Amino acid sequence: MGFLQGKRALITGVASQRSIASGIAEAMHREGAELAFTYQNDKLKSRVEAAAAELGSNIVLPLDVSDDAQIAACFEQLGQHWSDGFDILVHAIAYAPREAIDGEFLDGLTRENFAIAHDISAYSLAALAKASRPMMAGRNSSILTLSYLGAERALQNYNVMGVAKASLEATVRYLALNLGAEGTRVNAISAGPIKTLAAAGIANFRKMLHHFETYAPLRRSVTIEDVGNVAAFMCSDLAAGVTGEVTYVDAGYNILGMTGIGDGD
Ligand code: NAD
């Protein structure tokens, strides 16, 4: 029996088979969770429906997190399927306008780009936590989001997305404090670079991946399966004592102080 048997998980952020959310959904399904999915827009609808069907789910709901009405409608519709609540919310959503994640930090920076990156990539976690609260309270439930090292270190090209990820990680801590008394845990996984649609928007992503594979302690990049397995564990009762944490699934890259000296040059 899988360690997520009896759990219900809502998965956001599937855009392709390469999405980190797809790796998470696969691992959660393998461990026995019942799944529901959201899709951002009509272009993605049939793709997400097909992915859901492969994992035995026919609950597929529209959700653009920039729209309060869609957030409310999503959880209302979910309530029609899962009237007594659900246990896991996976937030795998981020966006910044392309010009803001290419070149120097200040070059692509505008008030609007800053606001969009924070709205879609950080505020949306709090908004979904708030909207799902009545359905998740009192069930030993778990909320999980995806972050990146750019939240803590200044990384070339990541720019305003790094600032938004810092906000996301702080939001994880405040939500963990707020929802802990109801038994809801809130955590993040900080994943190493993985070639997905979102990653393709970051300038010089291939170079970044190569650098990572050269210098990470495990001398490899990570996969959506690596992230999916840790996500399934973090959202299970095996991790019942963990909340407000950022867990790295990055082949150890974050422990490094300096790269490019000695072996691996
Ligand atoms: P992806 O492109 O497969 O997924 C990004 C998802 O965000 C898509 O499903 C897209 O539909 C969704 N999205 C964007 N704007 C939205 C909106 N307004 N409403 C609803 N959904 C919206 O890419 P991914 O790499 O799997 O990204 C998932 C998460 O993982 C993101 O938070 C990303 O920052 C994070 N992450 C990615 C990497 C990486 O290298 N790929 C590393 C660390 C963290």
What is d(CA 54, CA 132) in angstroms, rounded to the nearest whole number?
25
148 catalytically annotated: yes
Give a yes or no: residue 1 inside a domain: no
Give a yes or no: residue 263 inside a domain: no
5-47 per-position pLDDT tens digit: 999 999 999 999 999 999 999 999 999 999 999 999 999 999 9
Distance from the Cα of residue 123 to its chain's centroid: 13
Residue of 196, 197, 249 with the most ligand 1 atoms within 8 Å of its CB, for mutation: 196
Give a yes or no: residue 260 inside a domain: no
ipTM over 0.90: yes
Structure tokens at 181: 């008394």
What is d(CA 156, CA 262) in angstroms, rounded to the nearest whole number?
23
Structure tokens at 37: 């999915």
Give a yes or no: residue 3 inside a domain: no
34-82 per-position pLDDT tens digit: 999 999 999 999 999 999 999 999 999 999 999 999 999 999 999 999 9
Structure tokens at 71: 């957030």
Q: How many whole angstroms from 254 Cα to the centroid of ligand 1?
A: 21
Name the one residue in this structure whose structure tokens are 């390469």: 18
Give a yes or no: residue 179 inside a domain: yes
Give a yes or no: residue 77 inside a domain: yes
Give a yes or no: residue 47 inside a domain: yes
Give the domain CATH number at 104: 3.40.50.720
Structure tokens at 86: 């659900």
Query: What residues pair up with 214 in beta bridges, in sequence order?
Result: none
Structure tokens at 246: 């950022």
Residues lining ligand 1, judged by CB closer than 6 Å? 13-16, 19-21, 40, 44, 63-66, 92-95, 120, 146-148, 191, 193-194, 196-199
Give a yes or no: residue 140 inside a domain: yes
What is d(CA 25, CA 23) in angstroms, rounded to the nearest whole number?
6
- Domain tally, the chain: 1
Distance from the Cα of residue 122 to its chain's centroid: 10
